Amino acid sequence: MPKNPEIKKVMVIGSGPIVIGQAAEFDYAGTQACRSLKEEGVEVVLVNSNPATIMTDAHIADEVYIEPLTVDVLRRIIEKERPDSVLPTLGGQAGLNLGMELEEKGILKEFGVKLLGTTAATIKKAEDRLEFKETMEKIGEPCAPSLVVENLEDGIEFAEKIGYPVVLRPAYTLGGSGGGIAHNRAELEDILANGLRLSRVSQVLVERCIAGWKEIEYEVMRDGAGNCITVCNMENIDPVGVHTGDSIVVAPSQTLSDKEYQMLRSSALNIIDELQITGGCNVQFALHPTSFEYCVIEVNPRVSRSSALASKATGYPIAKVSAKIALGYNLDEIENAITKKTYASFEPALDYCVVKIPRLPFDKFITAKRTLTTQMKATGEVMSIGDSFEGALMKAIRSLEQHVDCLRSVDFTELSKEDLYKRLTKVDDLRIYVIAEALRKGISIEEIHDITMVDAWFIDKIKILTEMEDRLTKEPLTKELMAEAKRLEFPDCVIARLTGKTEDEIKKLRQEQGIRAAFKMVDTCAAEFAAMTPYLYSVFGSVDESGELSVTGKKKKVLVLGSGPIRIGQGIEFDYCSVHATWAFAEEGYETIIVNNNPETVSTDFDIADKLYFEPLTAEDVENIVEVEKPDGAVVQFGGQTAIKLTEHLMKMGVPILGTKAEDVDAAEDRELFDEILQKTQIPRAAGGTVFTEEEAREVANRLGYPVLVRPSYVLGGQGMRIANNDEEITEFIRIINRYAQDHPILVDKYLQGKEIEVDAVCDGTDILIPGIMEHIERTGIHSGDSISVYPAMTISDKVKATIADYTARLARALHVKGLINIQFIAVNDDVYVIEVNPRSSRTVPYISKVTGIPIVDLATKVIIGKSIRDLGYEPGLQPEADYVAVKMPVFSFEKIYGAEISLGPEMKSTGECLGIAKGFDEALYKAFIGAGIELPKHKQVIITVKDSDKGEIIDIGRRFEALGYKIYATRSTAQVLKDNGIHARKVNKINQESPTVMDLILGHRIDLVVDTPTQGRDKHRDGFLIRRVSIETGIHCLTSLDTVTALLTSMESAHDRLSVIDIASVKNRSL
């Protein structure tokens, strides 16, 4: 059927802030879908609270609302925009739930709006545990024995009937949050109670534990006429029991015979046909490892993280095709954009192997439990493509940027064979390294399989890699051995370590031996048809295809280095910058080449750049690309620290760095050089020094006087940054930083307390353009990424603003910045100090671009090419302030990371952000809180427990809570302070005192908020840590900064019944 002509204006719902389980993949899906809808002449209204996304750009949709994703707000937008349809299946679980609510509340009916794609009835059938099970039973598709329970008693009864262990899955939650495996009654009670609370409908599925079975997924598509195809299947190396988002996954499946493959494929098609899904859908199966028995685990009737992975793994654009299906097209009417010879009604054939490895945040949350369960914990992932499984695995490992480049990178050599047997039972992110060590110590493949249930085929592949390590340490490095090591994707640096040579020696030797990387194309069809889209990966020992793809010939070529996996501190913002830079280069007539390894992002979509290299971002891998492409230049300033780290290597390869020069980037990071610049420009900064050892650090700290700020240089997101109050803490923090050998010194600075201010600016070498000044609500000491940021700055004087503009210009010029610069300042009264200068793009770039209407990445790119700010039509200097207030609110995923310390500090912990934009500050703040999921008041009860130094400030806060009608509970000394000041506070006992204690109160579930300012030190057994964890795990908001609490109070005091909604596309650039 051709396009339905009645569809003229579609509202697309995005997925909101990035949280664990719902990340960049929905920006990729949403962006692709919006472009696909616009291509069909449909007007697109986009709603997403996340300002860091590409989908919320004014040119991706026609009307863009960066507003909180609540039913009320959506209703207001529908009322204003009057779309004829809503497309909810591209915004993850959040989008789907909202679509359902709009339907359930009759809002769609009220405004005559159709739900596009899959219908509400279908969503319910797939998502509601009971309906799903009934549907599966009806069509004879097996599910594990299970029961949906709504209370603890029924759960216990059923579990005792089917026997432990049982799996618990709450209905309607993201990334399986609140789920888990219970091995006994105590665990069951624990997990079930939590799951019931987290579920939107208070339902939890209790089912037979099928842990250890093979976990297989199918990505399927179905159109309105009932045509079905599977895009690909994927096999999880970690058997059932680990969330697929936390598993190492391979595509296509490797250990399934055609009989098993087709049995599950037919089942998947049978299921989507019965559910009448239109668009993309993901079906997860558990397959018994030694029989044909299988169970359907779950169906996601929407695009998902897995579908983003499947799209990148195969080249099949699932979101784009889903959008076209939603408009009424059938699969055989949609052209395959890669081959342009085949149609969407075709199943991709892979002639390579794809490996995905999750990026887990345990480097950020060192107190957290590393165990992997059915609850997802990964913040991002990397994907790699190779012609062997071993090679793809090795490439994926080094793409992670976690100080790992081979299976020896996590050292378990100290473990004995006995220790290893025990260690193998532990399911965590290090298991693959444990398996490798077990093989080295002679534990057999069968034994490892019996313990881990990882298929023997995968274990043997790991063994091939450990055998190669062994050969490299023992045998002479002949051409044959080198060729085989490279075929297995051993990087030169690893070969060097194993053979006792230097990396340069290895590189030179292999070049003499003629062993070079070749590039192959991802074409969806295993070379059966000639492909048009250059999407490439490297292999060794094959014929190079990259030469066949001369896109232009005469154009200048630019290499845009991406930002790798999404992690805390380096998120989707840098993908936004990379993509915009690529577009701007293309506009200026360049041939663009993107290198990245993140399957979730827009930058790795097949039609963003002229060429896409899906490769690890290491010097060697990039050099292989440079050798075949010979680019005229590379830009590193948009890809976060990942790209910046490659600067020196690129220069050695003879690739000019476009924009700010490497030595100037260095000058900003190198303490001595930077101090010189500050002196020259006469800009003050907090006193400090550089150190390598604990002793040096203590000496500097004592000279400056505590508190001091301790941090490694060249890091992003304040990784390893702490405020130290005494010598003991210095020792502790330096040891944590020095877990990894530091190439650069550690910085120790005097800690200044004041207002933190941030600017992003574009400099063309002469002039500077500052779109706006952002002010943080939290005082210094809390990482800028975790602070609430307000534009325009509200509380600083014009004099301070002028000083900031002046300092920014001086610094940009002194550092010879060409392109972007990000500077953080502290304003202490009217004095301004510089904290940090980053001559590159930053986390706030998308936000400030959107709220000022000034496309700064675009401008920066054009400046890099040689245009001036004036050429581009802008008057240099600080731009006039907007007549809106925009508040950027950090969003955290603490509930997903068991055992993580939630208190805020100089190290970044948030996973995402949302925006509140309004005419006034109060409303903007209110919207930002709602967007972040903090919708208060509910029960009007608050618990306050603060450290002594905060007791003075708590009085006003207490008074304001009281005025809002809150019942205040406080621990002993906090309660005393409040009472002394005439505030009615109820004293509660500490955890180790007699019941009822503060913990009982929290577990009673009628608390809105816990205000807990942590005492220093990182002892996880302290009361405060427990209180904060329990609050988060029971779904109670917990704030650890009094500034945040004050902001929340302001927002509650000015609660808005009828929120305004603002089309961001109308926030025009005022300087034009």
Give contact residues for other proteins (rule: CB under 8 A).
225-230, 252-263, 265-266, 269, 289-292, 330-332, 341-343, 345-353, 387-389, 445, 455-457, 460, 464, 520, 525-530, 541-543
Token pair 């980037």 is found at: 665
- Return phi, psi of residue 62, to 5°: -85, -40
Nearest to other proteins of 339, 563 (CB atom): 339
Query: From CA 347, how far away is CA 1036, in angstroms rounded?
Result: 46
Q: Least distance in Å: CB of 263 to other proteins?
A: 6
Minimum Å distance from CB 463 to other proteins? 9
Tell me the pairing of strands 1009-1012 and 967-970.
unpaired
DSSP state, 1013?
P
Contact 371, 428 (CB under 8 A): yes
CB-based contact 212:239 (threshold 8 Å): yes
Alpha carbon of residue 942 to chain centroid: 31
> Inter-axis angle of helices 120-127 and 129-138, to 10 degrees?
90
Nearest to other proteins of 229, 805 (CB atom): 229
Q: Which is nearer to other proteins, 452 or 824 (CB)?
A: 452
Distance (Å, whole) CA 1028 – CA 208: 33
- For residue 510, how far is the Cα from the chain centroid? 37
Find the shortest distance in angstroms from Cβ 228 to other proteins: 8
Q: Which residues are CB-neighbours of 614 under 8 A, at least 6 positions away? A: 312, 383, 384, 385, 522, 535, 536, 537, 596, 597, 604
DSSP state of 619: H
**Rounded CA separation 108/71 (Å):** 11
Q: How far is the CB of 346 from other proteins (least distance, A)?
A: 5
For other proteins, give the closer residue by CB, 243 or 395: 395
- Between 316 and 969, whose beta carbon lies closer to other proteins? 316
Instruction: Name the residue nearer to other proteins (CB basis): 349 or 1055.
Output: 349
Q: For residue 534, which of 517, 522, 524, 518 has the smallest C-alpha distance?
A: 522
The least distance separating other proteins from the CB of residue 158, rounded to whole angstroms, comes to 28
**261 contacts 253 by C-beta, under 8 angstroms:** yes
Q: Which is nearer to other proteins, 456 or 736 (CB)?
A: 456
233, 264 in Cβ contact below 8 A? yes
**Using CA atoms, how far apart are residues 652 and 940, in angstroms rounded to an integer?**
62
Report how far residue 921's alpha carbon sits from residue 393's, in angstroms, rounded to the nearest whole number: 50
Q: By C-beta, is 227 or 1050 nearer to other proteins? A: 227
Is the distance from CB of 978 to CB of 944 less than 8 angstroms? yes
Rounded to the nearest whole angstrom, what is the least distance from the CB of residue 1017 to other proteins in the complex?
A: 50
- Least distance (Å) from other proteins to the CB of residue 471? 15
527-537 burial: b if 16+ Cβ within 10 Å, else e? eebebebbbbb
Nearer to other proteins, 290 or 949 (CB): 290
Q: Least CB distance from residue 387 to other proteins, whole Å?
A: 5
CB of 421 to other proteins, least distance (A): 21
Helices (DSSP H) in 892-1011: which residue ranges?
921-931, 951-963, 972-980, 998-1003
Supply the minimum distance, in Å, between the C-beta of residue 599 and other proteins: 19
Judged by CB, which is closer to other proteins: 332, or 632? 332
- Cβ-based nearer residue to other proteins, 142 or 877: 142
Minimal distance, residue 529 CB to other proteins, in Å: 7
Residue with tokens 């409040």: 978
Distance between CA atoms of residues 668 and 687, nearest Å? 16
**In sequence order, what are the beta bridge partners of 685?**
834
Residue 176 half-sphere exposure, CB side, CA atoms within 13 Å? 26
Residue with tokens 């250990």: 255
Which of residues 266 and 766 has its CB atom nearest to other proteins in the complex? 266
- State how far the alpha carbon of 1053 is from the alpha carbons of 793, 878, 913, 936, in Å: 21, 33, 23, 10
Cβ closest to other proteins, residue 57 vs residue 390: 390
- First and final C-alpha spacing in the chain: 46
Shortest CB 417 distance to other proteins, Å: 22
The tokens for 311 are: 């799209």
Rounded to a whole number of angstroms, the minimum distance from the CB of residue 235 to other proteins is 10
Q: How far is the CB of 410 from other proteins (least distance, A)?
A: 25
Output 261 or 714, the one with its CB closest to other proteins. Answer: 261
